[in-house]
Amino acid sequence: MHTTYFPVLPLQLVTNYNSISLQLFDFADKYRGKYDSSITVAQKYYRSVSGYADELLWAAAWMYKATNNEYYLDYLGENGDALGGTGWAMTEFGWDVKYAGVQTLVAKFLMGGKAGSHAPVFGKYQEKAESFMCSCLGKSSQNVQKTPGGLIYKQRWNNLQFVTSASFLLTVYSDYLTSARRDLHCSSGPVAPSELLAFAKSQVDYILGDNPRATSYMVGYGNNYPQQVHHRGSSIVSVKVDPSFVSCRGGYATWFSRKASDPNLLTGAIVGGPDAYDNFADHRDNYEQTEPATYNNAPLLGILARLHGGQGGYNQLLPVEVHVAKPIAAQPKPYPVKETPFAAPVVIEQKPTTSWVANGKTYYRYSAMVTNKSGKTIKNLNLSVSKLYGPLWGLTKSPSGSYDFPTWVSSLPAGKSMEFVYIHAASPAQVSLSSYTLA
């Protein structure tokens, strides 16, 4: 599992985006303050307890990753101490307190050879990142609390947000360590990278039902999952079932307050989860435990994607970000536009979108567009991809070695295109059409 996938965008659009992002960062750094001091109504719901310092470092880390601009790397090095990045040893990671995420990302820069003169400061970031990992594993002098069933526990109100976010950091750091060929160093001794991934998996397994209650905390998954989610839309019957008008007050009085199962299943939502003793009360008004949130689900998707990848080699230090400030290196030869011999009804076009040098080898990121030129919908698409020497995203590999639609795509409508990308240190792979059906 490689780093975040950046879609192919027109150069002018990417340049404008980076310019706007730089202006926003400069504005935030110049006019420092907590957002809820300006938007005071937010203090009732999403109060900024940690302040703004972690957000500035968090933004700088991601700006460097997205743009490769040394300004942001210098910012992390020069402000790490003053803004708390090198000082705070955390036992949580969430929407308010982002230090553990900053420290993990900066540790990646360090292990990837990006620190330069900031290596001593970045080393302090890494010490704190590893302190977080060790505390989650129970191998530190200051460990996170766990329930009797083994779940990370921070607080009663929506505890699973901390579980999924911490498990995500453990997952990516496991791959960082693997690619750097080193272990995690805890006060109890060295820890193999595989142990971090195994612990993250145990947290996912708990969420999905491997727990003392045998309850899945993902709505719609398994045989025993929350039936009364604290969610207005889920508590009201679907318009497809009953198109009658439901007013705001009526939705609350008639539907939300009912003591009955949700008529509109919020499939895939992760609720707040159990308390410190693995107990869970499935009631709609029990918002601390039954309320879903996007920040519960988002980190979980990353973990599931990595677990789906199995135990293959993953080099998380391989830079796959798009560097728009530098021209693409000399193209590998030959570099023709690749088209399938079946020009109709399917056309396949490839082009490199960026390149970089790592360990003396030039890597290329290729974008391949598959376009349906027919007047009908294509189903059961099957592609042959040969002379591929690196990872590929956006297709599903079949047992026979060919490639099918990704799991989230079942067909390609007429006139539409889909993209897949791959990385390797060679000329474009040979992509051809094996079979398809027209609907």
Catalytic annotation, residues: 230, 282, 291
Tokens of 248: 């705001």
Q: Which amino acid is at 340?
A: T
Cis peptide before 428 (omega within 30 of 0): no
Mention every residue, 6+ apart, whose C-beta is less than 8 A from residue 343. 373
What would the two tokens of residue 391 be? 């990872």
Give 266's Cβ-side CA count (13 Å radius).
Answer: 26
What are the residues whose beta carbons fall under 8 Å from the beta carbon of 290, sequence distance 6 or more? 226, 228, 229, 230, 271, 272, 281, 282, 283, 284
Q: Compute the C-alpha angle 353/356/361, nearest 5°.
A: 125
230 with 285: CB under 8 angstroms?
yes
| Rounded Cα–Cα distance for residues 145 and 143 (Å) | 6
Backbone dihedral angles phi then psi of residue 396, each to the nearest 5 degrees: -110, 125
Collapsing DSSP to helix, strand or coil, 273 comes out as coil
d(CA 234, CA 197): 33
Question: Is the CB of residue 169 less than 8 Å from the CB of residue 184?
Answer: no
Give the N- to C-terminal CA distance of the chain in Å, as an integer: 34
Burial of 157 from C-beta contacts in 10 A (0-12 / 13-18 / 19+): exposed
What would you measure as the largest C-alpha separation in the chain, in angstroms? 68
> What is the Cα–Cα distance from 295 to 161, expressed in whole angstroms?
6
| Nearest of 62, 61, 60 to residue 25 by alpha carbon | 60
Which of 397, 396, 335, 340 shows the shortest CA–CA distance to 366? 335
Residue 33's region, left for phi above 0, alpha for psi from -120 to 50, else beta, is left
